Structure 1
């Protein structure tokens, strides 16, 4: 079985590749940077350099590797541009979907997000509508997600994984990550909105298991949606930082998500609660 991973040098991509190779799969991975080729080769993957926005290059790479499955993990977050990230999700995914159709690739698994749901006061499930009436900067994110998910679902044998807020080593919440620095600098302001987290190890585990799941959309989040004011205080304690500032109220789309469907598919979490995973260094 040959599996191709886009976003191969990202935090999920690296973990997925290492786990796939350990399980005996033949793995190819794509990076936008020639300087990261050695990273993929060290993991044991066949490395390709390419820009997912370049349709012909993507087709050439896939024709060379001839994958049975594509795991689509690419994002464009290195410069903090939500517009660039939305473009990669919309246009890049379209390129992949057209290649899947052309080459008759068996399955497509794609990364989405679990905080794209419409405003509400209850925990969201996969049946909850996405926030298609979003405005401002959030609209870029939602439009990109809608385009990605609609394209992926054109493939009969496909899975969309809506990850919660990723934490753990090498993420924004890692001890040297962006969030940690903002907490240490006293820059964070917390509210009563609800977040669903997912540890990077559990995200990788779900991605591998999704190879065998029924086609569909799955929330990949932990068991404990939590108020931002609650996790913020706990996280600050782990960092030995001052408690974050707080204001009463919430953004209505910050509602958290349910993982029931993924658990019914057989997924078990190593970190069912963010309280365990937020221990620094873990």
Structure 2
């Protein structure tokens, strides 16, 4: 299967990428950071350096790869838990504008499947509309929403030892 993985260098994407390639899938890994493209290529995937907010360029990138599945693992969260409270607006933008751009690109490319991450808890005040918009858009397009819980461990904003 040909998979376009948006968010390939994030906490989830960086773990999914080698698993997908290892399972024999042809994967294009989207990252907005040119410095992270080598890490994508090191897994055997095709690196796509692009900004999800450039709708036309994103559509061209997805169309060029011609995926069967577009997998949305994008977030815009800080590495420092102390900055989480101020990061909501950027993450809401990923959920609304970023999701809309990915859905449009997937449709233009004729992708048969779309999978997007979401959250399994009630977000802080003022963030629920973005989550609802995100999930509704994915479901309206015939996609699947996977609601994740909270992550603990290396590369996450929380450490597992805080919860013991």
Q: Structure 2 length normalisation: TM-score?
A: 0.89
SS in 2 for 1:166: coil
Q: Say whether the 8 Å CA contact 2:62–2:106 is kept in structure 1.
A: no
Higher relative contact order (CA 8 A, sep 6+): 2
2:103 is the alignment partner of 1:116? no
SS in 2 for 1:30: strand
Counterpart of 2:97 in structure 1 is 91
Which structure's residues are more often helix, by fraction? 2
CA offset at residue 138 of structure 1? 2.3
SS in 1 for 2:111: coil
- Measured against aligned partners, the alpha-carbon deviations of 1:156-186 in whole angstroms (never above 9, x if no partner) come to 2x210110011133222347xxxx6xx5xxx
Counterpart of 2:135 in structure 1 is 149
Task: From the CA coordinates, give the structure whose radius of gyration is larger.
Answer: 1
For structure 1, which runs of at least 5 residues remain unmatched after alignment? 118-136, 184-231, 235-282
2-structure distance, mates of 1:161, 1:116: 15
Q: Say whether the 8 Å CA contact 2:66–2:110 is kept in structure 1.
A: no
For structure 2, which runs of at least 5 residues remain unmatched after alignment? none
2-structure distance, mates of 1:148, 1:58: 18
2-structure distance, mates of 1:55, 1:107: 19
Runs of 4+ in 1 over 4 A off after TM superposition: none
**TM alignment of 1:182-261, pairs within 5 A:** 232=163, 234=164
Counterpart of 1:44 in structure 2 is 44
Counterpart of 2:31 in structure 1 is 31
The alignment covers a number of residue pairs equal to 158
2-structure distance, mates of 1:73, 1:14: 10
Counterpart of 1:57 in structure 2 is 57
